[in-house]
A and B are shown apart, each in its own frame.
Chain A
Amino acid sequence: MSRHRVVGPSAWILGAAGLVIGVGAAWLVSQGNPGNMGLCIACFNRDITGAFGGAWANMGGVAYLRPEILGLLLGATAASFVTSEFRPRGGSSIPLRFVLGFVFMLSSLIFLGCTVRAWLRLGGGDLNALYGIAGIVAGVMVGVVILKQGFNLGRAKVTSPIVGWIGPAIMAVLLVLAFMVAFGSAPGFVTTTPAGAKATAEGAVVQGDSVLKPPGGTLEDGAVVAEDGTVISPAESVAKAPPMPGGRRAPFAISIVAGVALGVVAQRSRFCSIGGIRDAVLVRRYDLLFGVAGLLVGATVANLLLGQYNLGFVGQPIAHTNALGNFAAMGVAGLSATMLGGCPFRQVIMSGEGDADATVAVLGMFAGALVAHRFVIASTGAGLSDKAWPVMAVMAVVLLVIAFAKRERVA
């Protein structure tokens, strides 16, 4: 009997899970989700935040209670419950986990996608993602050094069931609101980006033949004209206006069913978008790497078959071409995810399993999204915000300080 097996059955299970997630994400794009964003934990958590941040947080274009996220988490709850893996636990460095989730979100919104979407972007032919993936590898490598120095956020403890249920309960409430949005009876405090709306460079918003912003504006020969007759956006600008991401969405029923299904797959398989690189470097285990490899293959093949594959750097959906910015942002994201113990996808899944610490990380992501848009730190298709570099520098320092502070001597 061989003593050491490099590729065991678990690797193939993870590869298959990644394949399913990659195909599912590509298919969700064909059903209406934003380009190369069939599934993005950062973007979709950001959209959920936008549903409450609305215009105040400059999030009118990225506001939608994404049923995929609600489904993922509740699907994980169901799967963990059935397999007696729903274990209410928490209490490990709660404030720091909030900060790490916050940092992860800010850096993801500078890259324009989380560590899952980086692979999905590459699977759609967006070569800018290569710089992001190089950044993930670099960030995880730094994280591995930190782990080898004895970094440990401390032990979580068994908690009362109520604490474990906070994550699923939040999602259940959001699910009720999402149902109301889908059936056109959402309460006034929930913002939803109009379906298919486009924003012009001048700030006008057009949906089909009607002008949503400025109020009273009309379309004349393709140009947006204000009530007083001044031209807000020339026809050329209207024609070039990209769709607002929050307004690109698959039908509610498809999104929720896909979310639940992928939540079950992720909970059972333990899919993680950064664990593969981490384990390969740290403990020479390659199971989780099969997961992201499967995701890349699945997304690439499905995008090719669906006619959504577009190879190149320029003109990619919801992406910019700042190579160094992409690298640095995903470097920060990769490091923060490594310090959290798993990528944002895993945080959502673990929150569904009763892990209150993971719920805190998700709440940190919501807060990060609010700040990223309110203070215009998030990137746009045009490139980085002028605050992106200073913010990334501060976040890198914060991560290193946390790493140093939570070092524990291992005998």
Chain B
Amino acid sequence: MFEVDARGLSCPLPVMRTKKALGADPGSLVVLVDSGTAKANVSNMLADEGYSVTVTDEPDYFRIEATRS
């Protein structure tokens, strides 16, 4: 399971790091972010890359789980 911890990073680093992880063409991926902006940008990118995305609202961050659909 690939995990990208992008918590606390400014734009566009969460998207850059997720994109880098996608280079290995993982079947599934978890990205942790802590701002609404990063949550939306990363989720949108994963959806556009053909993943189905679920976001869980943790107390201090958002957990984005993506599975190749």
A10-B44, A341-B11 are contacts. A87–B34 as well, Cβ < 8 Å?
yes
CB distance from A80 to the nearest CB of B (A): 6
Picked from A9, A155, A285, the residue with its CB within 8 Å of the CB of B15 is A285
- Interface window among A186-194, A246-254, A274-282, A364-372: A274-282
Which residues of chain A are near B7, meaning CB under 8 Å?
155
Residue in contact with B40 in the complex, picked from A10, A157, A355, CB distance below 8 Å: A10
Q: How large is the interface on B (under 10, 10 to 19, 20 to 34, 35 or more residues)?
A: 20 to 34
Decide: A283 and B15 in contact? CB cutoff 8 A.
yes
Interface flags for A71-104 (1: CB within 8 Å of B; 0: not) read 0000000001001110101001000000000000
Chain A residues numbered 1-58 whose CB sits less than 8 Å from any CB in chain B: 1-6, 8-10
Q: Measured between alpha carbons, how far is A267 from B16 in the docked complex, in Å?
A: 21
B47:A8 contact, CB within 8 angstroms: yes
A282 touches B12 (CB 8 A): yes
CB–CB A270/B37 < 8 A: yes
Distance A9 CA – B15 CA, assembled complex (angstroms): 17
Considering the chains assembled together, what is the distance between the CA atoms of A154 and B12 in angstroms?
A: 13
A residues adjacent to B (C-beta < 8 A): 1-6, 8-10, 80, 83-85, 87, 89, 92, 147, 152-158, 267, 270, 272, 275, 278-279, 282-283, 285, 287, 340-342, 346, 350, 353, 355, 357
List 14 additional contacts besides A341-B11, A342-B11, A355-B35; criterion CB under 8 Å.
A4-B50, A8-B47, A8-B48, A10-B40, A83-B36, A84-B57, A154-B8, A156-B34, A267-B36, A282-B16, A283-B12, A287-B41, A346-B11, A357-B10
23 A-B pairs within 8 Å (CB atoms) are namely A1-B69, A4-B50, A5-B47, A5-B49, A8-B44, A10-B44, A10-B48, A80-B36, A89-B34, A152-B9, A152-B10, A152-B13, A155-B8, A156-B9, A156-B34, A158-B60, A270-B37, A275-B12, A279-B15, A282-B12, A285-B45, A341-B10, A353-B36
